[in-house]
């Protein structure tokens, strides 16, 4: 079980670590007494250098439900734009009393850089194409709620895998819990073979892998991270890798549909399938609040223990 005050990725996570966080998230979901006093007096800073709806809002709700103050650090209006260094900015927010920073940044490794200059907890809310650990955890929670045990279950993730931090974190979390994972997309959007991706099967034939899925996760093209890459036309993606009504009829009866959002309707998934009986897209968002409560409680607790030691 890893013990750290940060949550930077799931690369070193093990099964007990993921199971413990999800078990705690489920307790929060069922309701625990005095949740609002768990982090009373703590200050959590949201530092989003990229847009976000789900992650920033659910982290804010999670912090506030635990009694912590949530402060939005205005990345476009901060003194970073006047030339203040990252190191000095970190010292400044620490002096102001921030206990944790939730950070999203287009550069892979940015949260690790922050962690070198900050005594509190750093929580990665997405860094480039590297990691989105709380998304991985909330997806694993959603899968566990559905199936109880992931042993022998197959998660198919289809779309732009190469530029997706979600694919990396969600595939890894599901795999650590026992699921088999297939990553599917056009060859140009599949990951290069590298350490960390070796556990998943790769396929470019969506129709061939559909029927074996217990859970199917669709991903949008991350065009903001694909600069300079040759992307297939959206019509081709919708035609060969989009979840249409026709393809949905090929799914196993129990197969659920997931998407981390934001969805480009009628490209990766037909609009009518977004909220049908198979869809767990809103459940993923809901579970995000509870997972983030569990993560905040754990990392801030560890930061306090390290300070006291
Ligand atoms: N899934 C996800 O990260 O969504 P947002 O970009 O809206 O935070």
Please name which of 308, 294, 293, 305 lies closest in space to residue 4, comparing C-alpha atoms: 305
Query: Does 148 reside within a domain?
Result: yes
**Ligand 1 mean position to 55 CA, how many Å?**
5
How many CB atoms sit inside 10 A of residue 186's CB? Answer: 18
Q: What is the mean pLDDT of the chain?
A: 94
Question: What is the model's pLDDT at position 158?
Answer: 97
Same domain membership, residue 291 and residue 281: no
| Residues 76 and 122 reside in one and the same domain | yes
User: Residues 125, 55: contact at Cβ < 8 Å?
Assistant: yes
Query: Does the structure show a pLDDT above 70 at 235?
Result: yes
Q: Ligand 1 pocket, 287 CB below 6 A?
A: no
Query: How much is the pLDDT for 258?
Result: 98
What pLDDT is attached to residue 33? 94
At residue 8, the pLDDT reads 97
Cα–Cα distance measured from residue 193 to residue 277, given in angstroms and rounded to the nearest whole number: 36
- Which protein residue's CA is at the shortest distance from atom 3 of ligand 1? 55
Of 225 and 187, the one with more pLDDT: 187
CB of 135 shorter than 6 A to ligand 1 = yes
Does 263 contact ligand 1 (Cβ within 6 A)? Answer: no
Query: What integer pLDDT is reported at residue 1 of this predicted model?
Result: 59
* Residues 169 and 261 both lie in one domain: yes
1: in domain: no
CATH number at residue 93: 3.40.50.1370
Q: Looking at the structure, tell me whether residues 48 and 122 fall in a common domain.
A: yes
Task: Give yes or no: residues 60 and 174 share one domain.
Answer: no
Ligand 1: distance of its center to the CA of 142 in Å? 16
Closest ligand 1 atom, CA of 53? 7
Total count of domains within the chain: 2
Q: Is the CB of 92 under 6 A from ligand 1?
A: no
Establish if 180 belongs to a structural domain: yes
Please report which confidence band the pLDDT of residue 2 belongs to, taking 50, 70 and 90 as the band edges.
Answer: low
Residue by residue, what is the 3-state secondary structure of 97-153? CCCEEEEEECCCCHHHHHHCCCCCEEEEEEECCCECHHHHHHHHHHHHHHHCCCCCC
Give the pLDDT of residue 230: 77
Q: Is 259 exposed, middle or buried (0-12, 13-18, 19+ CB in 10 A)?
A: buried
Q: In this structure, are 128 and 144 located in the same domain?
A: no
Is residue 176 located within the same domain as residue 276? yes
Q: What is the CA(71)–ligand 1 centre distance, in A?
A: 18
pLDDT for position 82: 87
**Which of 51, 54, 287 for mutating ligand 1's site (highest number of atoms within 8 Å of CB)?**
54
Do 213 and 118 share a structural domain? Answer: no
Residues 103 and 160 in one domain: no
pLDDT tens per residue across span 156-201: 999 999 999 999 999 999 999 999 999 999 998 998 765 456 678 8
| Residue 85 confidence (pLDDT) above 60 | yes
**Percent of all residues in the chain with a pLDDT value above 70, rounded to a whole number:** 97
Segments forming the whole domain that contains residue 182? 135-285
Answer yes or no: do 112 and 230 share one domain.
no
The answer to whether the CB of 298 is under 6 A from ligand 1 is no
- The string of pLDDT tens digits covering residues 19-58 is 999 999 999 999 999 999 999 999 999 999 999 999 999 9
Dihedral pair phi/psi, residue 121, rounded to 5°: -95, 135
Say yes or no: 220 and 251 in one domain.
yes
In a domain, 6, yes or no: no
> Do 192 and 169 fall into the same domain?
yes
């Amino acid at each position: 079980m890893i013990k750290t005050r940060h949550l930077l990725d799931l690369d070193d996570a093990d099964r007990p670590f993921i199971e413990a966080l999800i078990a705690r998230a489920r307790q929060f979901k069922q309701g625990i007494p005095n949740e609002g006093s768990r982090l009373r007096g703590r200050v959590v800073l949201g530092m989003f250098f990229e847009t976000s709806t789900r992650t920033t809002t659910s982290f804010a709700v999670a912090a506030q439900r635990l009694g912590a103050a949530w402060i939005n650090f205005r990345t476009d209006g901060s003194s970073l734009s006047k030339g203040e260094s990252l190191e000095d900015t970190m010292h400044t927010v620490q002096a102001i009393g921030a206990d944790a920073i939730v950070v999203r940044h287009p550069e892979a490794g940015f949260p690790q850089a922050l962690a070198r200059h900050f005594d509190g907890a750093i929580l990665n809310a997405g860094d480039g194409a590297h990691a989105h650990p709380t998304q991985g955890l909330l997806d694993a929670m959603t899968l566990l709620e559905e199936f109880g045990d992931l042993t022998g279950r197959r998660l198919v993730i289809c779309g732009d895998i190469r530029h997706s931090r979600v694919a990396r974190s969600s595939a890894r979390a599901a795999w650590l819990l026992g699921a088999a994972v297939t990553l599917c997309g056009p060859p140009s959007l599949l990951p290069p073979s590298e350490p960390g991706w070796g556990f998943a099967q790769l396929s470019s034939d969506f129709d061939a892998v559909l029927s074996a899925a217990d859970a199917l996760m669709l991903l949008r093209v991350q065009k903001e991270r694909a600069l300079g890459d040759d992307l297939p036309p959206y019509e081709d993606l919708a035609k060969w890798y989009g979840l249409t009504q026709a393809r949905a009829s090929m799914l196993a009866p129990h197969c659920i549909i997931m998407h981390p959002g934001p969805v480009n309707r009628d490209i990766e998934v037909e609009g009518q399938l977004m909220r049908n009986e198979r869809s767990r897209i809103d459940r993923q968002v809901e579970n995000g609040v509870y997972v983030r409560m569990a993560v905040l409680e754990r990392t801030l607790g560890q930061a306090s223990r390290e300070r006291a030691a």
